[in-house]
Homo-oligomer: A and B are copies of this chain.
Amino acid sequence: MPDRALLEVFPTPADSPFVIEHVAEEFTSLCPKTGQPDFGVITLRYAPAARGVCVELKSLKLYYQSFRNEGIFYEAVTNRIRDDLVALMHPAWLQVVTDWKGRGGIRSRIRAEYGDVPVDWRTR
């Protein structure tokens, strides 16, 4: 069962704003309708708040693994991760993009966002 208690943080190591991206290529959960496994790639991007915190990488891996036997839709996975990580870190900006392998010849991408995109990320 997805478990946000698995997530841990550490203080941001810099005074200046910066951006962090973690790409997890080995995510799997179950389709709540059919019980069939879904496979996806989870991209997390965020800018820690000033004097804020960052999510610890190994705890993030364990949190993602807690979805392994959960029946949950693409859209719900994406918004759930967004909400859990925003509640954890209160970042300046956060974006979750999930890319799902095809089902019935259709592949899908879902994107949820929190806060304003940093100016320099906008410009590439």
Residues of A within 8 A of B (CB): 12-14, 16-26, 28, 36-37, 39, 54, 57-58, 60-61, 65, 68-69, 73, 75-76, 78-79, 82, 95, 101-114, 117, 119-124
Contact = CB atoms under 8 A, between A and B. Distances in A.
Most B CB contacts (10 A, CB to CB) among A104, A121, A123 go to: A104
A69 B37 CA distance: 12
Contact of A121 (B17, B36, B54, B124): B124
A78 B19 CA distance: 10
A16 B122 contact: no
A37 B23 contact: no
Given A16-B113, A122-B123, A123-B117, A105 B54 contact: no
A57 B104 contact: yes
Contacts of A104: 36, 57-58, 61
A102 B25 contact: yes
Contacts of A102: 25, 102
B106 A61 contact: yes
Given A13-B76, A28-B39, A61-B104, 15 more contacts: A13-B73, A14-B79, A16-B112, A18-B111, A19-B111, A20-B110, A21-B109, A22-B106, A23-B107, A25-B107, A26-B39, A26-B105, A111-B121, A117-B120, A124-B124
